[in-house]
Structure 1
């Protein structure tokens, strides 16, 4: 076969591949658009509705450490009419202070679960700090909080989720929620008057 013919055939094959890719992308985009128009997904909402801390004790610096047990109640609200959610994993972190660099005090793992549409699921979480190391400045602030009878923390939730419409399941997404400030009284009676704290939720 002449070189010109082989080149023409390669060009034709390349054009077919490019056309197929373009059609695939357009169909995928159309499917996403139709899904959104039909389902119209609403944002997921998280709220800390209850908080209590027990056995709160901070050792003096240097080499300061915190021992405490945080009992937290979170309300996970899925307001969607057609979309249910499947949590493959969920972790909760308790941090002291604001910002990304806030020291971590405690962590808890929550078993995966399925959340139906139009459902509010209550999560009862127990996060334990066992000799959690804290910087000297944070230790002094925590000791001041102990004397004042309340401590303000930041609660973070990290989860791996997917969405389901009927038998169709989406790919997995990372969900993060940040709830701050969560002010917890150190006396058992304070749990009765705990004000709910809404969380900022992001899914990527």
Structure 2
């Protein structure tokens, strides 16, 4: 009794079916591996806290231009016990009503180990930075009232390190609101001059 061979079309269907099943099994294995790694490592994004802001200059007297000088102290913590963080690039600047009012200052690249904490104190400033007219009106009013709400922002790139494995680069966005009030008691003079230091200890929002 002879064995009946499959015709051309049925053979192709069997081959495609096997390829599809193989791809499906491979994807399931990859997904399962990712879930296991996630469950073991429990990855969390870094946390940031704005410790203080020192204001050396804040001058909005010239129409539609702003001159500022700040020093900000930022605390960053890696909450992961098995994952390290490479900060490849971090640019810090000050924002007022969604408009950059200082130049960007780069924080040097660094590696943050498991559960480690880093503290950075970059200077950010701007000389005669153009401000949109509608923002300048509000800024002048806020300055006259002695109360200004700005946002310290960080834009950058990070990589994750697990053992010998290092991931690709991811964007990191950090937003730290800073309420500056010349009439409040939450500040102190610095160096005997016009500089004013504000102790804020403000938790920042972080997205990766």
**What aligned pairs does 1:1-204 form with structure 2 within 5 A after superposition?**
5-61=7-63, 64-97=64-97, 102-106=98-102, 107-180=104-177, 182-184=178-180, 188-189=189-190, 190-191=196-197, 193-203=198-208
Q: Distance in 1 between matches of 2:9 and 2:105?
A: 62
Whether the aligned pair in 2 keeps the contact of 1:85 and 1:163 (CA below 8 Å) is yes
Match of 1:138, SS? helix
CA distance in structure 2 between the aligned counterparts of 1:157 and 1:40, rounded to whole angstroms:
25
Q: Is the 8 A contact 2:53 2:200 kept in 1?
A: no
Higher-Rg member (1/2): 2
Question: For 2:61 and 2:33, how far apart are their aligned partners in 1?
Answer: 58
Aligned partners of 2:156 and 2:109: how far apart in 1?
Answer: 9
Give me the whole-angstrom Cα distance separating, in 1, the residues matched to 2:18 and 2:89: 42
Segments of 5+ residues of structure 1 without an aligned counterpart are none
- Distance in 2 between residues matched to 1:82 and 1:177, nearest whole Å: 23
Q: Give the TM-score, by structure 2 length.
A: 0.81
Cα distance in structure 1, aligned partners of 2:54 and 2:28: 52
Determine helix, strand or coil for the equivalent of 1:161.
strand
Q: Please say if residues 53 and 185 of structure 1, whose CA atoms lie closer than 8 Å, have aligned partners that are also in contact.
A: no
In structure 1, C-alpha distance between the alignment counterparts of 2:86 and 2:201, rounded to whole Å: 25
Render the CA deviation track for 1:55-96: whole Å, top value 9, x for unaligned: 3222433xx111112211111111111111111211223111
State the SS of the aligned residue for 1:7.
Answer: helix
5+ residue gaps, structure 2: 1-5, 183-187, 191-195
Distance 2:89 2:148 in 1: 28
Q: What SS class does the counterpart of residue 176 from structure 1 fall into?
A: strand
Q: How many residues align?
A: 192
Q: From the two aligned structures, give the one with the greater helix fraction.
A: 1
Question: Using a 3 Å threshold, how does the CA distance of structure 1 residues 148 and 188 change in structure 2: closer, same or farther?
Answer: farther
